[in-house]
Amino acid sequence: MRHTTKWSVGLAAVAALALTGCSGNAATTAPAATTAPTTATAATTAPTAAPAPVTLTMAAWSLSSTPEFKTITDAFTKANPNITITLKEYKAGNDYDTQMIADLAAGVAPDLYVIKNLNNLFTYQDGKQLMDVSDVAAGYDSKTSGLPLYQVGGKTWAIPYRQDSWYLYYEKDMFDKAGVAIPDGKWTWDDYAAAAAKLSKGLGGGDVYGAYLHRWQSTVQSFATAQTPGASILSGDVTYMKPFYDRTVAMQNTGAQVKFATSSTNSLTYQSQFGKQKAAMLIMGSWYVASYLASADKGDAIKFNWGVAPVPQRDSSTFDKPVTFGDPTGIGINPAIGSDKVAAAKKFLAFIGGQDAALALSGIGIVPAYTSDAVTAAFSALKGVPTDTLSKFTFGTHDTKPENQVSANNPKIQAILNDMNTSIMSGSSTVDAAIAKAQARIKAEVLKN
Amino acid sequence: MTVASKGEIRANNRKLAMTGWMFILPNFIGFAILTLVPVLVLFYMSFTKWNIFGGSEWIGFDNFSRLVGDESFHTALFNTLYYSALHIPLTLLASLGLAMLLNTKLRGLAFFRTVAFFPYITSIVAVAVVWNMLFSPEVGVINQALMAIGVSEPPGWTSSTTWAMPAVIIVGTWREAGYYMLLFLAGLQTVPKELYEAARTDGANAWQQFTNITLPCIRPTTFFIVIILTIQSLKVFDLVLVMTGGGPGQATLVLSQFIYNQGFVNNDFGYGASAAVVLVFIALAVTMFQFVVNQRRDA
């Protein structure tokens, strides 16, 4: 009798474990299994009548604080009432790609997913995790910027809906207070450094600086790569970054901008440095326009008189069409999508790079991939966006080079260059030594394999 | 009294064994699914080239020969050993010292024990943010204090390749000492009071009591702590990641982060797995060495 009790307890435990083990699995696979057949039958039974309802899923991040995904899917559903797109929230930042890759490998990723930047496009394409959308791309013209960057092997693998570019943000009142002339759209990096030094002096020092440069490697490296003719990180030769680093190291050593070490140990944010008037100038991407306006409305940033200028140039030859950088943001189709949903998904991609999507996006302060005078006007008409001539020129005229190259080596080289950036900017290594070390590592760890 | 036949004894033994198995089964299933199988897969992966999507390609020992020539791996290995070599003795001393202090009759004993344990249960991200501010080279409290007592050029701490690792070790020790203190406290409570009384009668001083009674009596605890602490130090990850991200440059790059980077940044899961296998063997070798030393002392 005692033995049977023990046995039954043991068996019950096993059964419980087996059940809980199963339920975890069932939760993820069940919805896909049940929705696919119903939509399939709907599509086959009524091919010619009113379009059957289709529900697509799409991966995106930080849904509560990033309204662009809902804006674009709502605008699409308004034009195509039979297609609904459900957003699935993923982690933000670099974790987005990690989680996305894991879900794709496990076969549980949504039908559509956002390609956050070009860094991982190759990984997805090479891993056969993107559907060929060349037919959709053929419907677009050169007004949809960034589209050619999504080509690998002559085929297009995703469609851009958003194209950020980097600008120079400045606060006019602080310039006036320091008695420094505001940017005129014809600044080289040396002009920028000189103005920052004068501003720091004129603003009385303390924790207020002429400029704030955020800790990302791109704030130095991507300008060097975009503006130096013929430069590419994939070559493994990055000596062209030296003048850019020499200048920025001198700027932080002479107090023209806050030191990298102070910025990183105190976890400074660019939003608070510029928004709380700790710096008169900030080099940052176009997303900061909407971000600053929102935080000024909420009281997280001070409301002040600001403007936008082109980023400083390497020399005067590019003042007419300033060279800056920025990756497009695109959306691709998961090849595991049900065959009955492909047409709807392609219809969505045919929408996101066009004028209607662009107008919806610029209405919330996002710079869309599609460019036209109407879109620029819609962007400038937003409440609070600077409307002076230079700001308008900056929004409308620029040559935006990609931050990343579509190549298997790109993520690896960027990681090595990030180590180089922290070595130089923290003052741990001289510019020459850090560049030499990075080049040696690229050669040994990336180009050799 | 009838004597049980051989068959009955065997059946009975089998029943007993099955009962035993049933008791460990719930835990074993979890261990097998979540730890054992992944570890076995890891060993397989280390011999392949795999970018997570699709199939993997068997490449034999290529990953391991690549590790031999990889300077980043050497840096990570050196940094991990550097961290362990300082973190293990420091934490051991700090936690034993705290345990000795808090094993006395003291007013507000529970309060002080809680305070010492607090760092261990505090969010690691919060710990990193606050310590980073304290370590800030120009405006941080630590360097302000150092300058006040006459150090003209205080270290750059987390922003210096020389001082980043010591900074991480200090925080690691501060964070974990409370936990091991708790284990030492448990060990100290098992030391019979009579031994101290007898020693005092014989005229032994505090140091003699410590070396001749306390240390030998808590040796099983110490052994356990050294093993756990060694393994924890070798696989340090979260603290480094949130404090320095492995920088500046590669100054605080440790093996776990190297593995993470190879897998989740470079999508080179086979290569990452081979570095993980090396870490497993290092931990195994050190632990076995410690077991052998412990057994010799027991003998």
8 Å CB contact between A185 and A309? yes
Q: Is the pLDDT of residue A352 over 60?
A: yes
| Residue-wise DSSP of B6-69 | HHHHHHHHHHHHHHHHHHHHHHHHHHIIIIIHHHHHHHHHTTEE--SSS--EE-TTHHHHHHHH
Mean pLDDT on A192-218:
93
Beta strands in A193-344 (DSSP E): 209-212, 279-285, 306-310, 323-325, 328-333
Considering only residues A37 and A354, tell me which one the structure prediction assigns the higher pLDDT. A354
> Is residue A286 domain-shared with residue A427, that is, in the same domain?
yes
Q: Where are the domains of chain B?
A: 1-39, 62-298
> Is residue A252 domain-shared with residue A321, that is, in the same domain?
yes
SS3 A89: strand
A6 belongs to a structural domain: no
pLDDT band at A35 (very low <50, low <70, confident <90, very high): very low
- Report the run of H or E that residue A88 belongs to, with start and end: strand A83-90
Tell me which residues of chain B, numbers 42 to 81, contact chain A at a CB-CB cutoff of 8 Å. Answer: 51-54, 66, 69-72
Residue B19: list chain A partners with CB under 8 A: 3, 6, 10
pLDDT band at B186 (very low <50, low <70, confident <90, very high): very high
CA A354, CA A136: separation in Å to the nearest integer? 11
> Domain total for chain A?
2
A233 belongs to a structural domain: yes
For residue range B148-166, what is the model confidence (pLDDT) as tens digits? 998 888 888 988 889 999 9
A11 belongs to a structural domain: no
For residue range B197-220, what is the model confidence (pLDDT) as tens digits? 999 999 989 899 999 999 999 999
> Is residue A138 domain-shared with residue A84, that is, in the same domain?
yes
Considering only residues A47 and B224, tell me which one the structure prediction assigns the higher pLDDT. B224
A23 belongs to a structural domain: no
Q: Is the pLDDT of residue A36 over 80?
A: no
SS3 B239: helix
A307 belongs to a structural domain: yes
> Is residue A346 domain-shared with residue A202, that is, in the same domain?
no
A382 belongs to a structural domain: no
Final residue of a domain: which of A371, A394, A425?
A371
Residue A57's φ and ψ, nearest 5 degrees, are: -115, 145
> Is residue A309 domain-shared with residue A427, that is, in the same domain?
yes
8 Å CB contact between A315 and A190? no
Chain B nearest-CA residue for A13:
B26
> Is residue A315 domain-shared with residue A343, that is, in the same domain?
no
pLDDT band at A13 (very low <50, low <70, confident <90, very high): very low
> Is residue A79 domain-shared with residue A136, that is, in the same domain?
yes
Nearest CB to B266; choose among A17, A21, A412: A412
Q: How many CA atoms lie within 13 A of A265 on its CB side?
A: 29
Mean pLDDT on B46-63:
88
| Residue-wise DSSP of A100-167 | HHHHHHHT---SEEEE-SGGGHHHHHHTT-S---HHHHTT--TTBTTGGGGEETTEE--EEEEE--EE
Neighbour-count burial of B203, counting CB atoms closer than 10 A to its CB (0-12 exposed, 13-18 middle, 19+ buried): exposed
Q: Is the pLDDT of residue A14 over 60?
A: no
CATH of the domain at A249: 3.40.190.10
Mean pLDDT on B74-97:
96
Nearest CB to B53; choose among A129, A260, A445: A129
pLDDT band at A31 (very low <50, low <70, confident <90, very high): very low
pLDDT of residue A364: 87
pLDDT of residue B2: 59
Mean pLDDT on B3-29:
86
Inter-chain contacts counted by CB atoms under 8 A, chains A and B:
125
Alpha helix segments (H runs only) across A331-408: 342-352, 355-362, 373-380, 389-396
pLDDT of residue B4: 67
**What are B82's two structure tokens?**
């550097």
Contact at CB, B132 and A265, closer than 8 angstroms: yes
pLDDT of residue A64: 81
A378 belongs to a structural domain: no
Residue A264: list chain B partners with CB under 8 A: 132, 158-159
User: Over chain A, what is the mean pLDDT?
Assistant: 87
Q: Is the pLDDT of residue A46 over 60?
A: no
Q: Measuring CA to CA, which residue among A206, A194, A168, A311 is closest to residue A256?
A: A194
Mean pLDDT on A442-449:
87
Mean pLDDT on B58-87:
93
pLDDT of residue A33: 37
- Report the run of H or E that residue A223 belongs to, with start and end: helix A218-227
The range of the structural domain enclosing residue A136 comes to 51-164+327-371
CA B288, CA A286: separation in Å to the nearest integer? 57
A397 belongs to a structural domain: no
> Is residue A318 domain-shared with residue A332, that is, in the same domain?
no
Considering only residues A154 and A8, tell me which one the structure prediction assigns the higher pLDDT. A154
- Report the run of H or E that residue B130 belongs to, with start and end: helix B124-135
8 Å CB contact between B142 and B149? no
Mean pLDDT on A403-430:
92
What is the gyration radius of the CA atoms in chain B, in angstroms? 25
Q: Is the pLDDT of residue A250 over 80?
A: yes
Mean pLDDT on B113-118:
88
Q: Does A429 reach chain B within 8 Å, measured CB to CB?
A: yes
- Report the run of H or E that residue A338 belongs to, with start and end: none
> Is residue A196 domain-shared with residue A307, that is, in the same domain?
yes
Chain A nearest-CA residue for B155:
A428
In angstroms, how far is CA B180 from the centroid of its own chain? 10
> Is residue A153 domain-shared with residue A174, that is, in the same domain?
no
Percent of chain A residues past pLDDT 90, beyond the cut: 67
pLDDT band at B53 (very low <50, low <70, confident <90, very high): confident
Chain A nearest-CA residue for B131:
A265
Nearest CB to A128; choose among B53, B72, B265: B53
Contact at CB, B156 and A102, closer than 8 angstroms: no
Considering only residues A113 and A372, tell me which one the structure prediction assigns the higher pLDDT. A113
8 Å CB contact between B128 and B143? no
Chain A nearest-CA residue for B156:
A261
Considering only residues A11 and A307, tell me which one the structure prediction assigns the higher pLDDT. A307
H and E: helices and strands count for chain B: 15, 2
Q: Measuring CA to CA, which residue among A149, A175, A136, A93 is closest to residue A342?
A: A136
ipTM over 0.85: no
> Is residue A95 domain-shared with residue A147, that is, in the same domain?
yes
8 Å CB contact between A405 and A122? no
Long-range contacts of B208-216 (CB under 8 A, 24+ apart): B210/B100, B214/B100, B214/B188
User: Over chain B, what is the mean pLDDT?
Assistant: 91
Q: Which of A101, A249, A422 should be substituted to probe chain B, the one whose Cβ sees the most B Cβ atoms within 10 Å?
A: A422
Mean pLDDT on B56-72:
91
> Is residue A156 domain-shared with residue A295, that is, in the same domain?
no
Q: Which CATH architecture has domain B62-298?
A: Orthogonal Bundle (1.10)
Neighbour-count burial of B296, counting CB atoms closer than 10 A to its CB (0-12 exposed, 13-18 middle, 19+ buried): exposed
Residue A442: list chain B partners with CB under 8 A: none
8 Å CB contact between B205 and B257? no
Q: Is the pLDDT of residue A213 over 90?
A: yes
| A87-96, A347-356, A387-396, B96-105: which is most confident | A347-356
pLDDT of residue B138: 82
How many residues does the structure list for chain A? Answer: 449
Residue A6: list chain B partners with CB under 8 A: 19, 22
8 Å CB contact between A88 and A59? yes
For the ranges A74-88, A218-232, B107-121, B266-280, the lowest mean pLDDT is seen at: B107-121
Q: Is the pLDDT of residue A372 over 80?
A: yes
